């Protein structure tokens, strides 16, 4: 007998590894019809995602024996984007797929993704009013008023911190409530206190040796759009404006990006990427080893940077605010490719991916934050918040902070080319010590020429 959804969730516990174990133990045997329709599903992810998808496929097939789902897994998200675009060009795209948020509108506008608007709106579950968190879900899914995918979840950046270093310094760490969010100037002062060289001197002390730093305050990447966009929106700027053009050349945007870059190049409270590489460590290892007090990273990192996996006490809190609190929300989409020969079977699988059942087992391991309203209620939180995985205040991030301060990312048609050719090189120049005011006006002008061309071509 197939295992029910309720029993499956009980058996699965809190780890994707447990989900995969069910399959290996034979708890979820595939019982497929001989003439089952095969639906391919492309995606990326680490071990937790890979095993979680495989186990979810077993459950889906037990309930839908007339459909066989074949998982086409690529470990790296950036590599998967290249693979997807190559397969689309070659006419070998999967039936259903993860679609990166960077690529979504470009592929939708180009006719690569199937229009699922009516299927979503007429579905007895997904079509319910406020089934998804709105208006954020519609804002990201709609391209010219039509849906071409469903957001897999929400993810956003926040602070991970080594609570023991805060205790040693006598500093109260940040939280997610409005009165627990640091002002930018307070953040800088705290970063100065939490940074020291081998002789215990801080950056504002005489004789501080910036080439001999043994403890940094914060790691905040300037090489990727998402953590920088959070700072831009916090400073009153926009990453993409309401007209669908890149706005990183505004005074507010350039000031925000410069402030983040200055953490490395001016204040010496954040390590250069080369410094981290030379230590042979990532930000998780540095936090765990007492070399880093805070890491600004995506919420998905909780799946490997959670209390159960670290040797030190770890906590989470909101990003510091400039003009206002902000963090950018996004995630990959689940879409049906227009080239599919099995649209009905593909929709049944895609719909399954948008149920609380599927989303819960990734939220429980710290990888995802729900985009479904019911999962943020008191009862809904019990289904996925787990002691040992989620810090005590973490539900506040999902239920209070993001609905108030989260900014849903929209990346317009043409963004793939604009990003690769102009915006990514601009971020690299900023990371290498260039000044935002010298870099972004020209980069944004060229990027927006691409976006204008893409708009005219629609």
pLDDT digits over 177-187, tens only?
999 999 999 99
User: Do the Cβ atoms of 159 and 296 come closer than 8 Å?
Assistant: yes
Q: What are phi and psi of 56, to 5 degrees?
A: -65, -35
Residue 410's pLDDT is what?
A: 86
Alpha-carbon distance 138 to 130, whole Å?
10
Residue 277's pLDDT is what?
A: 63
Buried b (16+ CB within 10 A) or exposed e, 117-136: eebbeeeeebeeeebbbeeb
Residue 274's pLDDT is what?
A: 55
Weakly modelled stretches of the chain, pLDDT under 70: 1-33, 274-279, 457-458
- Nearest CA to 265 among 431, 17, 40? 431
Residue 33's pLDDT is what?
A: 65
Residue 345, exposed/middle/buried by CB under 10 A (0-12, 13-18, 19+)? buried
Per-residue DSSP letter, 179: G
Q: Whole-number mean pLDDT of the chain?
A: 90
Neighbours of 314 (CB within 10 A): 22
Alpha-carbon distance 55 to 5, whole Å?
12
Neighbours of 262 (CB within 10 A): 15
- Nearest CA to 100 among 123, 120, 125, 74? 74
pLDDT tens sequence across 105-129: 999 999 999 999 999 999 999 999 9
Residue 409's pLDDT is what?
A: 85
Element (H, E) at 151: strand 150-151
């Amino acid at each position: 007998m197939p295992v029910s959804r309720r029993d499956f969730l009980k058996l699965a516990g809190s780890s994707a590894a447990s989900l995969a174990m069910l399959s290996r133990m034979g708890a979820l045997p595939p019982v497929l019809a001989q003439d089952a329709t095969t639906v391919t599903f492309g995606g990326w992810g680490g071990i937790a995602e890979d095993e979680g998808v495989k186990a979810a496929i077993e459950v889906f097939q037990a309930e839908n024996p007339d459909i066989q789902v074949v998982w086409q897994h690529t470990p790296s998200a950036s590599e998967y984007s290249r693979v997807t675009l190559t397969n689309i060009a070659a006419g070998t795209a999967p039936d259903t797929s993860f679609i990166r948020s960077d690529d979504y509108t470009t592929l939708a506008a180009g006719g690569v993704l199937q229009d699922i608007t009516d299927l979503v709106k007429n579905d007895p579950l997904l079509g319910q009013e406020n089934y998804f968190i709105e208006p954020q879900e519609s804002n990201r899914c709609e391209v010219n008023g039509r849906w071409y995918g469903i957001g897999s979840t929400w993810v956003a950046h926040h602070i991970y911190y080594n609570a023991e270093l805060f205790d040693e310094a006598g500093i109260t760490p940040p939280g997610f409530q409005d009165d627990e969010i640091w002002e930018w100037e307070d953040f800088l002062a705290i970063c100065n206190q939490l940074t020291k060289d081998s002789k215990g001197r801080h950056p504002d002390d005489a004789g501080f040796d910036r080439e001999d730093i043994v403890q940094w305050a914060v790691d905040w990447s300037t090489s990727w759009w998402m953590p920088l966009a959070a700072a831009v929106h916090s400073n009153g700027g926009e990453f993409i404006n309401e007209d669908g053009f890149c706005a990183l050349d505004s005074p507010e945007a350039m000031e925000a990006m410069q402030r983040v870059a200055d953490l490395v190049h001016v204040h010496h409270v954040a390590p250069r990427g080369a410094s981290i590489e030379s230590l042979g460590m990532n930000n998780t290892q540095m936090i765990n080893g007492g070399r880093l007090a805070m890491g600004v990273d995506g919420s998905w990192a909780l799946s490997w940077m959670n209390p159960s996996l670290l040797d030190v006490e770890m906590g989470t809190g909101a990003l510091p605010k400039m003009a206002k609190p902000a963090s950018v929300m996004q995630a990959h989409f689940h879409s049906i490719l227009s080239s599919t020969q099995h649209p009905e079977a593909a929709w049944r699988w895609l719909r399954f991916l948008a149920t609380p059942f599927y989303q819960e087992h990734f939220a429980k391991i710290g990888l995802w934050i729900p985009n479904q309203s019911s999962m943020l209620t008191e009862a809904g939180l019990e289904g996925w918040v787990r002691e040992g995985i989620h810090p005590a205040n973490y539900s506040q991030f999902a239920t209070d902070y993001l609905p108030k301060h989260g900014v849903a990312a929209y990346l317009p048609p043409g963004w793939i080319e604009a990003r690769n050719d102009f915006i990514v090189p601009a971020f690299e120049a900023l990371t290498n010590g260039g000044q935002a005011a010298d870099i972004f006006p020209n980069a944004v002008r060229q990027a927006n020429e691409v976006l204008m061309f893409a708009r005219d071509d629609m």
